[in-house]
Structure 1
């Protein structure tokens, strides 16, 4: 069987052909590889450079390689945070004509780290709680989409900074299955696996001396279940309200928006006696603030980053002479996309904010000091630094002053817990 590359982009096969497919992955020369931290995997995994991109190459049998490739493509189509599948390479042989395993190729997730690399320095319990939050959100999103993971663990997840929190991405979909809807038993099976896997991984870290002494591995394994159940209940519970209290439904929807979810479809039923109304969110989509920021500004950010940028945008809009809201709350105007007909539309103000505030501020940070931070994360940290300096000074010191202080005093001596994704 001849070498065959099935790719999602017509440009990738030509770039990938330059890699040494005639060699087992373990024997690839260093000149093809990128020295990035890798998590634990049952398969051989290497990072390599293909043109200007860094790709993750995983060696496995033909059937699971093709299956995982299709599953990752399905997850991409429905907007689930997962690594981006690029290609599957089949028909590999060594110089003697002996067959080699197929490989699955995914795009390296910039700015991400496997959990073990994050524990190279002892991680504080508060940071670990944020990791559990991120993983719980990912698992809920998968289950809402009908995806049974089958192997939820820290090892099968990559983490990226998301403002003051983390965003979790699925890495390994080999054991997964996509269904129209999951049963309660399927969800609980995934959750039980997550609890056992996470406790085991943390016990392993404890044995190596990399775990904070106050952290109980069993408690943290159980915590993922509690956080998942709390979020799942909030997103799917049935609410019964008195008839005529329609604002209760709006309040529930706003609560879901605050959690980062949109209600794409809902079911509302009136009781036969007319005394009450039953409200059930039928389809809930994650990324409420991401979509809002993208629509207004064209900026693509993680959910918590987007929430923070929107708050700053609202504050800035209120200082503009042509800002004339028809609602006293700027956030209401952003949500609706409407305003006073004599004032500038929110989209116009938002693009002005990007041009006059966001971009100049981010560009003022020297590239060599940015590390792996993306523009949204840089801007978030500058806002945090301005808040810190303003609290200390007991007055608003302004963004420009905060930027100068951040560049001169913080970045040069900062030791990043998440190292640059690429050298």
Structure 2
């Protein structure tokens, strides 16, 4: 089943004939399942080609092969780990953004020190509709829209990484959420003059600050930080917008 969500399509599994839940998926089992899927899909496509034909003279075997290639690319994107230098924290948000675009949410991040950098292992999970909105509300009390909540949770998770690195321990998420509200979210939106808000709520303004920070960091190839990004957003975006 598909439902619209802010111009996008959200997919839901509503029925399944058979299924098996495994505690761990080995490479051997995954390869076996892929080979079986390839055989079944290729066979079905050949039957379809023989009965009504495939559009554009598509080859059933080539189509089935392409499925495996796309799956392996997706699997690599979901399971690979990245190494960041400490000052390149903005790359974490970029990585999370790519996973979000694929329809996955980053629920956990395991941080491991590697030489002079940080190895960030992300565990993406598909979550139900309105998950981010409810999750953010339970952690911070903020009532926002779903896509806003996703972006704010990304910022919160990123800040938790920084806190954990600074304190040398895994900072609990509720503790990180409390500090994120008081040290990141509130200071960022409170510097915006009321007459420049243009009817936008604080969550949308914070989202735009995050976007502005990302562009600035990309240009300079280093994280510019939220205080600088927020002030730059006021001076170079909002004031120009209302000029």
Q: Normalising by structure 1, what TM-score? A: 0.31
Correspondences of 1:121-132 after superposition (within 5 Å): none
Unaligned runs of 5+ in 2: 135-142, 147-195, 212-243
Counterpart position of 2:131: 291
Between the aligned partners of 2:29 and 2:101, the Cα distance in structure 1 is 28
Between the aligned partners of 1:257 and 1:196, the Cα distance in structure 2 is 30
The SS at the match of 1:177 is coil
Question: 102, 119, 123: which is aligned to 1:278?
Answer: 119
CA RMSD between the two structures: 3.7
Between the aligned partners of 1:239 and 1:285, the Cα distance in structure 2 is 18
Between the aligned partners of 1:187 and 1:168, the Cα distance in structure 2 is 22
Q: Name the structure where helix makes up a greater proportion of residues.
A: 2
Between the aligned partners of 1:170 and 1:197, the Cα distance in structure 2 is 22
Report if aligned partners of 1:195, 1:222 keep a CA contact under 8 Å in 2.
yes
The SS at the match of 1:329 is helix
Between the aligned partners of 2:32 and 2:197, the Cα distance in structure 1 is 52
Question: 43, 48, 65: which is aligned to 1:222?
Answer: 65
Between the aligned partners of 1:265 and 1:226, the Cα distance in structure 2 is 27
Between the aligned partners of 2:30 and 2:100, the Cα distance in structure 1 is 24
Q: Shift of the alpha carbon at 1:216?
A: 1.1
Q: What are the superposed Cα offsets for residues 396-420 of structure 1, whole Å, 9 maximum, x if unpaired?
A: xxxxxxxxxxxxxxxxxxxxxxxxx
Go from structure 1 to structure 2 and tell me whether the alpha carbon gap of 1:328 and 1:248 turns closer, same or farther (over 3 Å shift).
Answer: closer
Between the aligned partners of 2:9 and 2:88, the Cα distance in structure 1 is 35
The SS at the match of 2:55 is coil
Report if aligned partners of 1:257, 1:288 keep a CA contact under 8 Å in 2.
no
Unaligned runs of 5+ in 1: 1-111, 113-159, 299-317, 333-423
Go from structure 1 to structure 2 and tell me whether the alpha carbon gap of 1:296 and 1:214 turns closer, same or farther (over 3 Å shift).
Answer: farther
Between the aligned partners of 1:280 and 1:254, the Cα distance in structure 2 is 15
Q: Which has the larger radius of gyration?
A: 1
Q: Shift of the alpha carbon at 1:245?
A: 2.0
Q: Name the structure where strand makes up a greater proportion of residues.
A: 1
Between the aligned partners of 1:292 and 1:203, the Cα distance in structure 2 is 42
Q: Number of paired residues? A: 154
Between the aligned partners of 1:187 and 1:196, the Cα distance in structure 2 is 14
Q: Shift of the alpha carbon at 1:199?
A: 0.8
Q: What are the superposed Cα offsets for residues 85-115 of structure 1, whole Å, 9 maximum, x if unpaired?
A: xxxxxxxxxxxxxxxxxxxxxxxxxxx6xxx
Q: What are the superposed Cα offsets for residues 188-208 of structure 1, whole Å, 9 maximum, x if unpaired?
A: 111111111111101101111
Question: 231, 249, 257: which is aligned to 2:92?
Answer: 249
